Amino acid sequence: MSETARQRRERIERRAYTFYLDPALVVRARTEIEEGDVIRSIEAALAAALDYQLWVREVAAGQREVLHRR
């Protein structure tokens, strides 16, 4: 089974990301909201950061416009 051009591109462009969570902010979040909400908030922030990085790469490569026009 041969891989598609998109699969090759994704394999080549895949990079590891490192995220630093400020311990003071994590402690503050734990005291202000429930533990499950902290985890969901962190997951949402990481997903948004990854989506943003993908968008930046696509715009830079000319594969996507900066503004989506309808």
Please indicate, yes or no, whether the overall pTM of this predicted structure exceeds 0.85: no
The pLDDT assigned to 28 comes to 84
Angle made by CA atoms 11, 15, 17, in degrees to the nearest 5: 145
Q: How many domains does the chain have?
A: 1
- Name the residue range of residue 46's domain: 5-60
Considering the domain boundaries, does residue 70 fall inside one?
Answer: no
So what's the pLDDT on residue 10? 64
Q: What's residue 21's pLDDT?
A: 76
Distance (Å, whole) CA 65 – CA 63: 7
Q: List the chain residues with pLDDT less than 50.
A: none
Residue 69: inside a domain? no
Residue 42 tokens, joined: 């962190």
Does 29 map to a domain? yes
Contact 20, 45 (CB under 8 A): no
CA–CA distance, 6 with 46 (Å, rounded to integer): 23
Is residue 40, in this structure, part of any structural domain at all? Answer: yes
